[in-house]
Amino acid sequence: MADTQLVWNSILSEAQKRVRKQQFDTWFSNIDFVDLQDKKLHLSVPNSFFRDWLKNHYAHVIEESAKTVTGSDVEIHIGLSANDPSQKNDFAAVEPAKAQAGQPVYVADTPAPLRSDFSFPSPDGDLCLHSQYVFDNFVVGPCNNLAHAAALAVAEAPSQAYNPLFMHGSVGLGKTHLVQAIAHTLLSKHPRPKILYMSCENFMNQFISAVRHGDIESFRYRYRHLDVLLIDDIHFLGKGDRTQEEFFHTFNALYNAQKQIVITSDSSPKEIPAIEERLISRFKWGMVTKLSQPSYETRVAIIQKKAQLKGRTFPEDVVNYIAEHIASNIREIEGAIIKIIGYASLMNKQIDLLLAKDALLDTIDRERTTISIEDTQNAVVKYFKIKLSDLQSKRRSRAISHPRQVCMYLARKLTGYSLEEIGGYFGGRDHTTVMHACEKIENLRVSDSLLAATIEKLTDELHKSVSKGR
């Protein structure tokens, strides 16, 4: 047992490298090691919610970590823990000797004891707003004017204009800016409004924490007595059945009390994967508006505004150069501006076109990065006849996971994006997931001639489409 416990500790250490710290602390710290024999790893968790979430979202992490440590495939079994040996054991079929010997067995989920000392911080302390994400700093153009107008109306008259307000669009187009601008405006107009702004991931983590500590009522009271709830990235709510149930009732409580709800997502309501139909219908009750990629003229205005906020004025040719070569999203534009300013400071030079080209040499490489991640996604979606939302979803069926891995591989080979940046375009996946996908496709190309031909065909099509667009 001692030796296998050491193996499990090594598996945990390996898993810690593959997920973010918050994910590891939330999910992996509650796993108890039971046994490892005959290439079967038996684990236990406090309740069925944890078990189902681990199976749906992190089973592959445990499997890959176990394979790295042991050198072979390991079968994962996750049971529910309890200390009553008289109860039915999830593992009884595979470990009858332990059950008969009176050792701890694994039973159906039992409620945790209530804790009077467990509570959440007050809503006012959770906002964590960016000081520059206000309406005055938002550049309005044809790509976002409707979303901006709707957000402004909500900020001026919460629960009276559009409720709920649902804003969607690809990564880095200004959704978070607008939702935080609403919060800034409300905070400036009201002395102590009950506002809560948070990511969907934080909502889920706090719900999980409430389940774990047996204090669901405190969680519900906190969320159902707000004036305004602002949730970023609701698409991450997919596949969390109990979390969806909780959000559904929270939504109903706030809506029926005429409290304002603002939601952002990478996808439109109907394209969010694994979201229940009853939630989709509620997301459509108010205003649904999309933010698109900024036009050239809007990009010019954004660059000028972002540079001004940094205390700089860029020459016209530098502004035009950035606008011509960075078209995908505002976040990349801001990154280019910061890089130019930093480069000028380090070199102790004035900002001009030559300096801008040197500073953005790695960012704007015509032969390499004119193919964007959006280009690869569009090509893969068309070739495999799937939806863009499928690539960004948590679905793991081969019909979806294989095209997703191919797309990650192409993005890594044909664009200048890092593993972390690529992961962000696929539902916020970790860089290790992208690395695994690239390694898998690279290895399969050697033995699978059909896959090799598919990769070659998609690569040729992408290069041709970019050449036509120049």
- Taking the C-alpha atoms of residue 376 and residue 411, their distance in angstroms, rounded to an integer, is 6
Give the residue-averaged pLDDT of 330-349: 87
* Residue, of 94 and 235, whose pLDDT is higher: 235
Question: Which CATH number goes with the domain that contains 94?
Answer: 3.30.300.180
- Taking the C-alpha atoms of residue 193 and residue 180, their distance in angstroms, rounded to an integer, is 15
Contacts of 450 (CB under 8 A, 6+ apart): none
- Tokens, residue 143: 């790509």
115 domain-assigned: no
Q: Which amino acid is at 106?
A: Y
Straight-line distance from the first to the last Cα atom of the chain, in angstroms, rounded to the nearest whole number? 64
| Contact indicator for 111, 161 with CB cutoff of 8 Å | no
Please give the pLDDT value at position 204.
Answer: 86
449 domain-assigned: yes
Please give the pLDDT value at position 192.
Answer: 65
Query: Do 129 and 221 have their domain in common?
Result: yes
Query: Do 127 and 193 have their domain in common?
Result: yes
pLDDT higher than threshold 90 for residue 402:
yes
Please give the pLDDT value at position 177.
Answer: 92
* Residue, of 18 and 81, whose pLDDT is higher: 18
Q: Which domain holds residue 243?
A: 123-291
Question: Which CATH number goes with the domain that contains 219?
Answer: 3.40.50.300
Tell me the average pLDDT of the chain.
79
Contacts of 59 (CB under 8 A, 6+ apart): 76
Contacts of 46 (CB under 8 A, 6+ apart): 30, 80, 81, 112, 212
Query: Which residue shows structure tokens 């079967």?
Result: 40
Q: How many domains would you assign to the chain?
A: 4
Q: What is the pTM for the complete model shown?
A: 0.55
DSSP 22: H
Contacts of 29 (CB under 8 A, 6+ apart): none
- The number of beta carbons lying within 10 Å of the beta carbon of residue 248 is 15
Give the residue-averaged pLDDT of 361-384: 76
> Worst-scoring range by mean pLDDT, 107-121, 181-195, 352-366, 442-456?
107-121
Please give the share of the chain, as a percent, with pLDDT higher than 90. Answer: 15
Query: Do 16 and 142 have their domain in common?
Result: no
Query: Do 360 and 377 have their domain in common?
Result: no
Query: Do 268 and 320 have their domain in common?
Result: no
Query: Do 271 and 184 have their domain in common?
Result: yes
Query: Do 337 and 357 have their domain in common?
Result: yes
pLDDT higher than threshold 70 for residue 380:
yes
108 domain-assigned: no
Query: Do 180 and 231 have their domain in common?
Result: yes
Asked which of 230, 257, 291 is the last residue of a domain, the reply is 291
27 domain-assigned: yes
260 domain-assigned: yes
Helix, strand, coil percentages, rounded to 5, for the chain? 60, 10, 35
117 domain-assigned: no
Query: Do 344 and 436 have their domain in common?
Result: no
Question: Which CATH number goes with the domain that contains 325?
Answer: 1.10.8.60
DSSP 92: T
Q: Where are the alpha helices (DSSP H) in 291-397?
A: 296-309, 316-325, 330-347, 353-359, 366-369, 373-384, 388-392
Query: Do 154 and 20 have their domain in common?
Result: no
> Worst-scoring range by mean pLDDT, 3-12, 246-255, 297-306?
3-12
182 domain-assigned: yes
Given pLDDT bands bounded at 50, 70 and 90, which one contains residue 113?
A: very low
Taking only the tens place, the pLDDT of each residue in 240-286 is 578 888 899 999 999 998 999 999 998 888 877 778 888 888 898 98
Asked which of 364, 398, 420 is the last residue of a domain, the reply is 364
Give the residue-averaged pLDDT of 147-172: 88
Asked which of 262, 291, 320 is the last residue of a domain, the reply is 291
Please give the pLDDT value at position 467.
Answer: 58
Report the Cα 29 to chain-centroid distance in Å. Answer: 21
111 domain-assigned: no
Query: Do 241 and 254 have their domain in common?
Result: yes
Q: Which of 339, 432, 421 is nearest to 17 (CA)?
A: 432
- Taking the C-alpha atoms of residue 271 and residue 283, their distance in angstroms, rounded to an integer, is 12
> Worst-scoring range by mean pLDDT, 98-102, 147-151, 190-194?
98-102
